[in-house]
Structure 1
């Protein structure tokens, strides 16, 4: 094989593309092997996962904390929105840790090499809806879902979505259904724009957001009926006392499905 390769000009073996990988249109590729600037970890990961046609495998070195969030399981301290979203789209495995002293000069952080294998086919879910639910649940990941969904701001947003969806359904009566495109994964890439993310795109989701007492929905208010509907969905699925930090992919998918079945949407 080598003699045959040597007969061809070196320029035909590979293609060099100079530019910003986040802005460039990537060509077809089967395997990706990369040592990347850590500050683009999240947007590059989701850019790769949204690339079509689907590649076979990517082996990438990340900052160790980011890598451990990618592979975190329910119940782990680092299990977060990043974990859930990436694992929805791909099988991710940790290959090896690389200590900072393996580099000269040594950086301030350790690294890890991770293998990413995109799932095919993808779950039949709207990723905008999915990310809306996951974003809400992991905003206070250690609180019960029942407590999260009782807050006035959450109920107001969901009720607005509920009324909008009902109006659209009534307006489309007798017309062919227009389904939302499934391939809307670019919604995930904005996670690094969150102001709570550090310079490497690792979000600190361990701290719970404190909410004032008057932000909790009072009984007898105008949307108390809608609150009962939301609580009914959570109780029906046995989710009211569960926490996002403990839920699996299957449980999140089921939670989204029963909300959608009740006409409640997150995007």
Structure 2
């Protein structure tokens, strides 16, 4: 049993207002279903909020996905869940972090033969770790937000073009994280990995 809003985030589906990183991550590893609502008046003294009972059943076998890679990817997608992925992946801080990670992996792989999971990307610059932005209601549209797309030069960098080509090839450029299913997230992550772009 959880506070109702938290419980509804656990079971939220793509397109729901409460759909967030918590929803995506929980549903990757477990089947979650809402069983019943428990009103606050059922408790003495009554709390300030209602509760809900949910069933969480771990998926067996577990999905074959690198947890660090998945978490880094989902964090970026949900920086602003109602922005298009094209806008998110054009942001300076996102491109800078991904390119730094990409160059580090490129430099280390030939000399040490390491795998992509051996180098972690620094994602602390994407937001305040104390306040998870994905838990906030973000009903703003792209037009209401300042877009910092990293176009400081007329020419688009080779790496930026690589990132955007992955989004365009999979028809994800105009899609929003708040509307994507588990399968779509997994597919997009695999496309990035195939292009040599990693998130952990």
TM superposition score normalised by structure 1 = 0.65
Cα offset for 1:203?
2.5
Partner of 1:194: 130
Question: Is 2:18 the partner of 1:78?
Answer: yes
Partner of 1:256: 189
Q: Distance in 2 between matches of 1:104 and 1:171?
A: 65
Partner of 2:125: none
Cα pair distance change 1:170/1:205, threshold 3 Å: farther
Which of these residues, 90, 109, 122, is aligned with residue 169 of structure 1? 109
Which runs of structure 2 are paired with 1:77-96 in the superposition (5 Å)?
Answer: 77-96=17-36
Partner of 2:13: helix, strand, or coil?
coil
List 4+ stretches of structure 1 deviating above 2 A: 177-181, 193-197, 205-213, 219-223
Partner of 1:165: helix, strand, or coil?
helix
Which runs of structure 2 are paired with 1:100-119 in the superposition (5 Å)?
Answer: 100-119=40-59
Partner of 1:141: helix, strand, or coil?
coil
Q: Distance in 2 between matches of 1:165 and 1:121?
A: 30
Q: Distance in 2 between matches of 1:129 and 1:172?
A: 20
Q: Distance in 1 between matches of 2:115 and 2:88?
A: 32
Question: Is 2:132 the partner of 1:204?
Answer: no
Cα-Cα RMSD: 2.3
Q: Distance in 2 between matches of 1:229 and 1:179?
A: 18
Which of these residues, 63, 66, 73, is aligned with residue 6 of structure 2? 66
Cα pair distance change 1:107/1:92, threshold 3 Å: same
Partner of 1:96: helix, strand, or coil?
strand
Which of these residues, 238, 241, 245, is aligned with residue 171 of structure 2? 238
Aligned residues: 188
Larger Rg: 1
Q: Greater RCO between the two (CA within 8 Å, min separation 6)?
A: 2
Q: Which whole-Å deviations, capped at 9, do the CAs of 1:7-41 have from their partners, x for residues lacking one?
A: xxxxxxxxxxxxxxxxxxxxxxxxxxxxxxxxxxx
> Quick check: 2:77–2:177 contact (8 Å CA) kept in 1?
yes
Cα offset for 1:196?
4.5
